[in-house]
Structure 1
């Protein structure tokens, strides 16, 4: 067996990611695909002009910030992958393009590291981590009665979707990525996601959703990851509440949660948030969100139940969803709840995931949260070593704090 335990002298692929140029920010045409501008763009996405021909909405911070205590010393975490044993935090950062890494246990920050000249002041791009925020907004709207039932069809709230592929799909099926609409996401510039984005940039998200015309399965039958499903949920939320997604979550989640910094969300030309991604926040505020979720929506320092407990549990518990959404069935590894990914194993553990390595992992029983923001080489973490190594590092954290699989 081989062991690695060396100090990090440089982050991986610094020059390829633009170090000598000061980690430049890209333009609307290349920010998502060019490695040279990935670090800069993924921490300044809200500043890039012309994206989706839209604007930026701000979620203001809280006047009562959730405190995050700091551990006196960083724990000695050990993790293993393949023949490599007893790897350290430094090893993980030396092997992966991690911009920010945060671990919270029992309300205290155990690990907080940054690479590529990023810092606690940077707002990191969520990519599809944002989808879980849309789900939480749906749960809150159910709680306050703006949405009557997740069995309601989308067209009950967005009449323009009547006669579209999404009109008669229930909110529950949309939450499970089971609309049945034919929609591909390969991130290769020629998939349905690319076409959807082009239409949305010209005409807005609502018209783009109306133009999806083919069905691959009946609603509810199978998991098919489709960002368009989340966009429809965003449209439903806006119509049901009479508020933008940002305004709604600012007053219902971001401020009650105790966010320290403002967050930014990109919109389309009509001011509708691109709810499938495009959310930007600091590493610590992502950590606060994870900490809230580790308590099933309860803010532990104030005792306020910010999110509906029953909804959070149902959204994130693999055992409460049909077999086709279970870990190992929805995908070869993860399962899927309501816009949350569920881990295999006996314990309830779940994840908020975005392409290029954005991750929030939560273990409610251990009160353990890991947040990672990355500039991975490929969109899907599983297409590089990041997928396996992030999982191995997480398992090392779980084991360190007494958990098992």
Structure 2
């Protein structure tokens, strides 16, 4: 019995050791990849070939765009919003508040995973989008204008839609073994139709070439297949694992460094920073409040346990609450980070959030990754601000808002 007790007491230490070793392995990879210029070598191998394919695809893009009309412009622009950052900002909290907590956790993690891998590949290859002109590029929203500043391969919209539709299809059909062939066929048809329309829309809008879309499709299928094999293990770790908050905090910070430097600066790293923060906030919030608000027995809107009017009330209360937390958190970290950096003697700059710091780096744009700095360089404090405000946003959605619902009897 004493031996068994010693064995059980050693289990947490073995888990902690494995977590430390995994983080050290990631740090080792960052150092090795930087020392041997892995990003530049991969770019030299892939960029010329992809660029040639993009040029060859131009006649086909122009042929597809020859069918343009206002209706198709609106349709494909609307579809492009399905996997945009504003969509996730609203969609993921609604999943938590409707009782689909496991689905919400998995969708958050999967989208962050897709965003990191997709944008990393974009910035490694650094292949341009189709040239405009002659291609007509339609950017109906500010979000699309920012997307147009990224590199092309792979198409993030295609990649994300494959994973989003595929996992939702799996979530709906997997637990119901009694589903007949008609339900399965209908679900697969809808998923394929959505992926096809989004993919075609990226070409029609002049945002991507055919090779970009095909790359997004293939990479998305690979990510989806991998995720379907590990998602239960990841979810069990988040809700009942050891040292979850500490491990994920360290992992999130390291992932800010484990990102390739693009040939020229793009918004891709900013998107990764935001999703990285969202994931951290979600994981910490769920870990701390899972038994109270996120377990499998909570009220579920699709089972009729959560009335629709109550869910509407949650939305009306929850959305303003997380928006307030986001803006208050942003104001707090904008004040806090410069104070901490100055106290520690860290040179900082700001590209947008703190105007008084802009003058110190006017005209400086060397294309280096924002999060790194050398003795001659400075740290872009916007990275930390963005990371912390999105972490606060997600944390409030899963830990601050649910007690508010309980207080209001929602």
Return the TM-score normalized by structure 2. Answer: 0.29
Higher percent of residues as helix: 2
Larger-gyration structure (1/2): 2
Higher percent of residues as strand: 1
Return the TM-score normalized by structure 1. Answer: 0.29
